[in-house]
Structure 1
Amino acid sequence: MTVAARGPTRVRARVDGTVQGVGFRPYVYRLAGELGLAGWVGNDELGVVLEVEGAPGAVERFLARLPREAPPLAAVERVGAEEVEPRGERSFVIAPSAQAGEPAAPVAPDAATCAACLRELFDPADRRYRYPFVNCTDCGPRFTIVRAVPYDRARTTMAGFAMCADCRGEYEDPRDRRFHAEPNACPACGPRARLIDGDGRDLRGDAVENAAAALLAGAIVAVKGLGGYHLACRADDEAAVHRLRARKHREEKPFALMAPDAAAAAALVVLDDAELAVLESVERPIVIAPRRPAARVARAVAPATSELGVMLPATPLHHLLLADAGVTLVMTSGNVSDEPIAYEDADARQRLGAIADVLLVHDRPIHMRTDDSVVRAVPGRPPLLMRRARGSVPGSVPLPVVAPRPILAVGAELKSTFCVAKGRRAWVSHHIGDLKSWETLGSFREGVEHFEQLFAVTPEVVAHDEHPDYLSTSEALAREGVDHVAVQHHHAHLAACLAEHGETAAAVGAIFDGAGLGPDGTVWGGELLVGDLGGYRRAGHVLAVRQPGGDRAAREPWRMACAWLVAAGEERRPATFAANVPERDWRAITRMAQSGLGAPVTTSAGRLFDAVAALCGLCARCTYEGQAAMELEAVADPGERGAYPVAVVPGAGGLCLDPRDAVLGAARDAAGGRSPSTISARFHAGLADATATALAELAEAERIRSVVLSGGVFQNRRLTLAVGERVRAAGLRVLVPVRLPPNDGGVSFGQAAVAAWRDLHGGAR
C-alpha cells in the first residue's frame, strides 16, 4: 500500500501464512526498531497481526521489506494492510498471543538443526555443548510436538519442562534468536537422552557416545528421532545389516542411510547441485539417487537396485550420533515390517526390544508420529516426491476453488494419507502407511483427529474412494450427519495433479498405477482420461488381461507374465521360469487366465511392468510393493535405443495400448539370452512411445493443450522423462505432481479438490 505523505502515520497489518513458531514476531520487532517505528506485533488464531506507527516513508519501507526479508522458516502468503488512527506511541512491543475465534494459522513443519545451533552443539565452551536438544526459532521440532494452536509452549509436548533462568532470559528477549522458541531448553532444564537395554534398564555414561560405540561394534540401536523411532546399524557391516533384515522381517526392500555430512553422502550417490540442495534443505528428506560403484555400503542395504536412499542428520541427537560413530549408518523406520513406526517409549520397548540390542531414548514426548519424507532425483526437473512426511507436513496446499463447506478426504488404501480442507486451503497428512491393519487404522484415526482439531475443521463433506472394501471407505461411510462424495480412484489422481498446479480446465491424463476400482467393476490401472475437477471420461486404456489370483498376482509377478503370454497366444512356460515355477503351477495359472475363474480383468500398467520383470528373470516373487517394477527400471540400459512395439489402436473403450507384441519380444529376447538391461530399456521405450502417441492424439481430438502424468507407475523416472519429452515435442504442456506424490499419497488431495468443486457446483449434496 502507499501511505499518504503527511505527518506520522499508523498502519494495521495482518500477515497470513506460516508465521508462528518461526521467529516472525522478533523479526518484526527488529525491523520496526531499525526503521524507528512504534507499535506492536502479536500472534492470534489466524497468524500474525501488527501495527506500526512513524514517518510515512519508514512505514512504506517496513511494509515492502516485511515479506521479502522474513525468517527462513516463514512462508508469507499475504500481507493485508490498512491505515488507522495514529496513537502517538514511542516504543514497539511484542504482545501476548490472543485467540478470539477458531484457529486457522498454519503450523510449521519440523526443521533441521540450523548452523548457529550446530556451532553451539560442538563448541566445548558453550553451555549447550553436546546437548541433543539444542534448537532456536530457525530450527527444531514443530509439527511433531504441537498439540494445538496458537503455537505456544503450553500447547506443545515441552509444557512439562520448566525453563531455567538462562533459558527464560533467552525466551523473553526479543533480540535473542530464541525469543519464544517454544522447545527452548538446555542441559539444566530440558529433555535428556538415555541409553537403555531391552528391559528398560539405564546403561551408564554418555548415552549418545555409548550408542555410537555399540553401532561401531556391530549392534542394532533403536534411536528416538523427531517423529518416531529409527533402527540403526553400520551401513558397511554386511552381518549387521543381515541381522537387522532378519529381526525386522524385511527381506529385500532397500534401507535408508544417514550420512554424517554432504561430502559423505556424495561419496555414496551421484548428486547434482539441485539434488544436493534438497539433501541439505531444512526438510532433510531421504534422497534416492544412483549409487556410486565405490560406495562403502553393504550389498544387503539395497540388494537389487542401483540406487541408494540417503539423508543427512535432522536433529542434534543425530548429528552427535553420526559424529561420534564417524561412519554412515542404516537409519530405517522403527517398526516390524508393515506396522506403523513406534513413537511412544513403552510401545518402542515392547515392539523394538526384540530387534534392537539397545535403545537410545529421550523424555521429550512425540505428539504425532511422522516418517521421513522421500524424494527421488530426476535430471532436469524438480525431485520426485515419493513420500511426503517429516519436514513437509503440515504445510498447506492451496485449492484452485473455494470449498463452500469443510471437507475430509480419506484417501486410498496403499500409501495412505488423508486431507482436511476449508476455504481455499487444504492440509494433506503425513504418510500413514498401507491401510490394511488395525494398527495402521489406529494411526490414521489419530492423525485425522489431530488435523481436525489443529486446523479447526469439522467436516460437513467426506470424500472417499469408490472401492467399498477399503478401510478408508469404511471410515468415511461411518461418519454420520455429513455428505459423502465417492471419487473414482484415477479421477482423484488426475484431479490432484490439476489442483496442485491451480488448474480447473480439462486435461488429458495418463494415469498408470497398480490398481483402482473402475465404475465397470473391473480393476483399472492403465488409464487414459479426459477430465477436470468436476468429472472425467475414460478415453483409452492398456489392453485388459486377466489377473490370476487377484491380489496374489501383485506378490507373484510370474502370474502376470503367464497371463500376458496367454493374451498374446503363447501358453508354454519360458525357460526363465524353469527353476522357480513348477510346470504344474504354470499350467494351473494358464487355465485361470484362459477361463477367467479367480482371475479378474485388469488394465493395470503396474502389473504389466511386473510381467516384464518376471519374463526377463528379475523378480518372479515380490517381498514388498512395487519391487518388480523398481528392479526392472533399475537395470535399464541407458545406451539402448531399441524399442518393443506397443500398438495404439481404436477400440470400444477408446484408444487401446496393446503391448502383446512387446511382451512376446521380451520373452523371445530373454529366451535367447538377451540381458535384462536391454529388455528393460526396449520395453520402457516402447511403452513411452505408445503413451505419448495416444496422449497427443487425444489432445488434438479434444483440442486440449495440457497433459497430466500421474499414478504410482510415474514414480518411474525413465518412463516419466521419456513420455514427457515426447509429449512436449508434440507441442503440449506436461503437468506432473511436484508438491505431492504421484502415487496414492496424493489421492486424498485429489478427492478433496473434486469434493470442493462438486460442492461449489451443487454436486455434493
Structure 2
Amino acid sequence: MHPADTTHKQYNLTVQGIVQGVGFRPFVYRLAKALDIRGTVANSETGVHIRITAPQAACNEFTARLRTEAPAMAHIADINISMPSDFENFPDFTICESSQQGKATVPITPDIAICEDCRSEILNPNDRRYGYPFTNCTNCGPRFTIVEKVPYDRPFTSMRHFAMCPACAEEYHDPLNRRFHAQPNACHQCGPQLSWHDNRGREIDTDDCIRNAATALGQGRIVAIKGLGGFHLAADATSTEAVAELRLRKRRPDKPLAVMVPDLETALQLCHLSDEEQKALCSPQSPIVLARYKAQNILAPNLAYGLGIVGIMLPYTPLHVLLFATPQAPEALVMTSGNISGQPICIRNQDALARLHTMADYFLLHNRDIVTRVDDSVVRLIGGAIRTIRRARGFSPVAIPLAATTEDILACGAEMKNTFCIVRNGEAYLSQHIGELSTPECEDFYRESIDHLQKALQCFPQQVACDLHPDYLSTRYAASLNIPLQPVQHHHAHAAAVMAEHNLDAPCMALIFDGTGYAEDDTVYGGELYEVGRYHYRRLAHLSHLRLPGGDMAAKEPWRMAISLLYESCTPEQLEQALSQLPAMATIEESRRNLLLQMLEKQVNSPLSSSCGRLFDAVSGLLGICPVSTYEGQAAMLLEACASAHEPTHDPAPRYPVHLVEHGSLYTIDHRPLARELIRDILWAQPLEQIAYDFHQWLISSAVHLLIQYRKINNVNTVILCGGCMQNKLLFEGLEDRLQRANFTVYSGIQVPTNDGGISLGQAFIAGAPTEKGNGPPQPFTRNTLTM
C-alpha cells in the first residue's frame, strides 16, 4: 500500500498484445486494489485501456507488475503511457464496459485447453458444474472458434444465444472471480447442451450422453464428436478391429491416426517423451505431439503403419475429460478429423450428419455454433526444439511480430498445406491450417476463413501476394481481388518465412529440401541452395534432375520415380539388369515398366525436377519400402523410419560418394553415382535399414560440402534450413549438427512450419517490404558462376 500524498497524477495506459479473453482486466483490478490505485480499465479495439490516479512511484510499480505478473496466457507487446491534460478524481477502481469506436488493432486470442481449476470442478460431485462439458473460465476455453469480431465480448461470439442464469451472471460481474467477463461462461442451467443421435440423425433420449458415447466406443463403435473447432471421428485406439473399421469407412488405409489419452502418465506408458515433449503435451495449446512408440504398449498396431512414431494428445476440453472419466471408455481413443477425404472438417450438425453418416455409428452433438473451423495442431521435437508441423488450434491466430517494416498485406499461400497470412500494423496473423485446396469445399473454406479473419481484425489490405504457380487456386483467388498483386517464387517464400520469424537480415544461404515449387525455366524446383535476401534470391545449386513420369502420378507411385532414377543413372545394360534383378522392380508388371521407359525415352508427360521429395520417393521405391503411396509424404516418412532403425557403430561419414557437377552457372548434387551404389547394395543384400541410413548421410554430406564451398566464395555464414523435407528428423538433425560443427549459424522454423504451411508468411514478408530507396519488388539475383 502506498501512503496518500498530494502528488497524485493522472496516467493513461494502453496495453497491447494478447490481453483480451485471458483474465487480464480482473488481474489489473486486483493489482490496482493492492496498490491503492484508483481509476478504470476497459477493453477496446486497440487493446486494454487503463486510466489511473496515483503517485509516480505507485504508477511505476503498477506498470512493472503488469509485465511481470500478468496471467499465464497473456502476452504484453507494448505499454504506452501518457498524461492527459485534464484531471479526473476517481472514487475507486472499476472495470468498464468495452468500447468500440474505431478500427480494431487488438489480437484475437486462440482457444485454450481446459485449466486445472475447471478440470477439478467438473470431476467434483459437490460442485455445481460437476459433469458439465462446457465449463470454462478466463484461463481456458473457446476463443477464436467462437468469436465473430473484436473486441472479444459475449455479444460478438456464438455464446450470445445463451443468456446467463443468475449464478453465472454473478460470477461474470465479480471482478474477484476467475470467471469475471469469461465470455463463454455457462453451466447446466443456462449453457450449451449435448444430444445423442444415431447415424440417421434421430435423437436418442438419454440422461447421460457422455456415458452413451463411452459405452459405444468401448464396444468398438465409431462416434462422431462435435468438439471445439470441428468434428472428430473417435474409435477405440486399443482395438485393431475398431481402427481397421474406421480406416475402411474413412478410406484412409495407411495414413497415421492421432490418439488421445486421459493423462500424462498414460502417455508416458505408451511413448518415449522427453521433458520438452511432455511440456508441449501439457501446455495450454495442447497440440498433437509426434513421439516414438514404446516397444510394448496397448495401442493397436495399425495406427501408424511402419513409422515408429504416433501422434498423441491429451484431453483439451471438458467433454474429453468427462469422456475418459467414464468407466466404459477405452484407455485411448483415436481422434481423427471428421471429414470426407479432400474436404474440410465438418463444423455444423446437419452438415456432419449428412457427410459422416456412412463413417459414424453415432453422433455426440451440441448446440453451440462453431464460427471458425480449426484443426488440431501438430508439433515434433527436432533439433532440440519443439517445431510446429501444423499450426492450428491453440496457436492460430496468435500474431508473429515482424521486426522489419512490412506493409499491410494479404498473402494467399500455397496449394498444399495451405495457410494464408494477413499483416496488420507490423504483425503477421498466420491463419489456421486450411489444408489442400483441391475441392470446391476446400476453396469455400479458404475464402470464408479469409473473409472472417479480415472482418475480425478489421483489416482489409489493398495489396496481395501469391505463389508464382498460375494454376494454384490461391493464385487465382489473389488475381480475382483486383488489387496490386505480387507473385513470389515458392522457395524464396520458404526461406523468407524463416527470415521473418527470426528477424534475419540478408545475406543468408537457404538450403531448401522440398516437394515441388513452380519456376519459370520449365523445370520443377525442390532441392535447392539459394542465396537469399528479402528483395532478391539467387539460385546457387540444386539436386540433379529427375524426370517425373506421369507428372503428378510420380508422387503417388514412387516405383515410377525409382525407374526414373535407374533410367537417368544406368547404361542400357545396367538398366536391364536392375529391372530384372532388383526385388522391388520385379513386383511391377513388365508392361507398365516398358510403358514408363517409353515415356522417359520420348520425354512425354515427364517434366524435369530437382525435387528432394521425389528423390526420397525414388529411393523408397527402389528399396521396395513404398512402391505406392496412399497419402502425401508416405514414401519419405517410411524411408526415414527405416533409416532411423539403423544404429551406426561409427561416425556417420557417408559410404556413398559425394559428387558435385558444374552445370552452366550452377552446381548440381549428382545422384547418378548414388543410384549405382544403391543398386549394388540391394543386390548384395545389405540391410535396408543401413542403405536407407546411408542415403540420408549421403544427402547430408553433399549439402554440407556444397555449403562449405560456397562460403569460401561469398563469405556467408548463416544457413536457413527449410522446405517440407526438413520435417525429417534424421535429415534435419544431421544437417544441423554437421553445419554447426563447421561453424555455420543455422536457423529454421519453430513457430512457423517449414513445410508449405509457412509459405504465406514468407510471401507477406517479401511482397510487403517497402519499396523505398530503389529496392523495388523482389527479383532473382543475377546468377554468378561458382569456381571450385
What code does the residue aligned with 1:690 have?
Answer: S
Percent of aligned pairs with the same amino acid: 42
Partner Cα separation in structure 2 for residue 476 and residue 145 of structure 1: 27
Which has the higher mean CA deviation after the structures are superposed, 394-403 or 165-174? 394-403
* 1:587 counterpart = 2:594: yes
Over 3 Å counting, the alpha-carbon distance change for 1:455 and 1:678 in structure 2 is same
* 1:177 counterpart = 2:178: yes
Aligned to 1:683: 695
Aligned to 1:566: 567
Which has the higher mean CA deviation after the structures are superposed, 584-593 or 742-751? 584-593
Give secondary structure in 2 for the equivalent of 1:42: strand
Give secondary structure in 2 for the equivalent of 1:301: coil
What code does the residue aligned with 2:396 have?
Answer: V
What code does the residue aligned with 2:627 have?
Answer: A
Partner Cα separation in structure 1 for residue 6 and residue 592 of structure 2: 90
Kept in 1: contact 2:465–2:764 (CA 8 A): yes
- In the TM superposition, residue 455 of structure 1 has moved relative to its aligned partner by 1.1
- In the TM superposition, residue 288 of structure 1 has moved relative to its aligned partner by 0.4
List runs of 5+ in structure 2 lacking aligned partners.
779-788
Aligned to 1:73: 73
Residue among 675, 679, 687 paired with 1:667: 679
Residue among 584, 599, 603 paired with 1:596: 603
* 1:616 counterpart = 2:638: no
Kept in 2: contact 1:483–1:764 (CA 8 A): no
- In the TM superposition, residue 547 of structure 1 has moved relative to its aligned partner by 1.0
- In the TM superposition, residue 638 of structure 1 has moved relative to its aligned partner by 4.3
Deviations 1:577-617 (A, max 9, x none): 24531122112212322332210000000000001111111
- In the TM superposition, residue 521 of structure 1 has moved relative to its aligned partner by 2.2
Aligned to 1:342: 346
Residue among 382, 387, 396 paired with 1:384: 387
Residue among 363, 369, 374 paired with 1:370: 374
Kept in 1: contact 2:405–2:770 (CA 8 A): no
- In the TM superposition, residue 519 of structure 1 has moved relative to its aligned partner by 2.1
Partner Cα separation in structure 1 for residue 490 and residue 224 of structure 2: 37
What code does the residue aligned with 1:260 have?
Answer: P
Within 5 Å, give how 1:623-642 maps onto structure 2: 623-636=630-643, 637-640=645-648, 641=652, 642=654
Within 5 Å, give how 1:492-571 maps onto structure 2: 492-569=493-570, 570-571=574-575
Aligned to 1:7: 7
- In the TM superposition, residue 140 of structure 1 has moved relative to its aligned partner by 0.1
Partner Cα separation in structure 2 for residue 581 and residue 654 of structure 1: 36
Partner Cα separation in structure 1 for residue 410 and residue 22 of structure 2: 28
Aligned to 2:783: none
What code does the residue aligned with 1:343 have?
Answer: I
Kept in 2: contact 1:514–1:712 (CA 8 A): yes
Kept in 1: contact 2:535–2:777 (CA 8 A): no
Partner Cα separation in structure 2 for residue 758 and residue 40 of structure 1: 39
* 1:358 counterpart = 2:371: no
- In the TM superposition, residue 397 of structure 1 has moved relative to its aligned partner by 1.0
Partner Cα separation in structure 1 for residue 261 and residue 229 of structure 2: 19
Give secondary structure in 2 for the equivalent of 1:757: coil
Aligned to 2:36: 36
Aligned to 2:785: none
Deviations 1:172-216 (A, max 9, x none): 111100000000000000001111111222222300111001000
Partner Cα separation in structure 2 for residue 242 and residue 335 of structure 1: 17
Aligned to 2:16: 16
What code does the residue aligned with 1:660 have?
Answer: R
Aligned to 1:135: 136
* 1:726 counterpart = 2:738: yes
Residue among 647, 655, 663 paired with 2:659: 647
Count of matched residue positions in the alignment of Structure 1 and Structure 2: 759
Aligned to 1:119: 120
Which has the higher mean CA deviation after the structures are superposed, 38-47 or 7-16? 7-16
What code does the residue aligned with 1:330 have?
Answer: V
Deviations 1:144-174 (A, max 9, x none): 0000000000000000000000000000111
Deviations 1:458-515 (A, max 9, x none): 12111010111111111111111x1000100000001111111112322001111110
Residue among 297, 304, 309 paired with 2:299: 297
Aligned to 1:64: 64
Aligned to 1:236: 238
Residue among 419, 422, 444 paired with 1:420: 422
* 1:397 counterpart = 2:404: no
Give secondary structure in 2 for the equivalent of 1:584: helix
Which has the higher mean CA deviation after the structures are superposed, 664-673 or 487-496? 664-673
Partner Cα separation in structure 1 for residue 159 and residue 64 of structure 2: 36
- In the TM superposition, residue 758 of structure 1 has moved relative to its aligned partner by 5.2
Aligned to 1:200: 201
Partner Cα separation in structure 2 for residue 158 and residue 475 of structure 1: 32
Partner Cα separation in structure 1 for residue 520 and residue 707 of structure 2: 22
Kept in 2: contact 1:260–1:326 (CA 8 A): no
Which has the higher mean CA deviation after the structures are superposed, 380-389 or 533-542? 380-389
Partner Cα separation in structure 1 for residue 531 and residue 277 of structure 2: 34
Aligned to 1:263: 265
Within 5 Å, give how 1:104-115 maps onto structure 2: 104-115=105-116
* 1:606 counterpart = 2:613: yes
Give secondary structure in 1 for the equivalent of 2:302: helix
What code does the residue aligned with 1:560 have?
Answer: M
Deviations 1:396-428 (A, max 9, x none): 112233233x31111110001111112311111
What code does the residue aligned with 2:716 have?
Answer: I
- In the TM superposition, residue 456 of structure 1 has moved relative to its aligned partner by 1.6
Kept in 2: contact 1:646–1:660 (CA 8 A): no
- In the TM superposition, residue 7 of structure 1 has moved relative to its aligned partner by 1.6
How high is the TM-score relative to the length of structure 2? Answer: 0.94
Kept in 1: contact 2:406–2:770 (CA 8 A): no
Deviations 1:637-680 (A, max 9, x none): 34224532232333314221112222222222222222221111
* 1:222 counterpart = 2:224: yes
Aligned to 2:781: none
Give secondary structure in 1 for the equivalent of 2:535: coil
List runs of 5+ in structure 1 lacking aligned partners.
none
Aligned to 2:157: 156
Kept in 2: contact 1:340–1:439 (CA 8 A): yes
Partner Cα separation in structure 2 for residue 337 and residue 580 of structure 1: 29
Partner Cα separation in structure 2 for residue 41 and residue 759 of structure 1: 40
Aligned to 1:754: 766
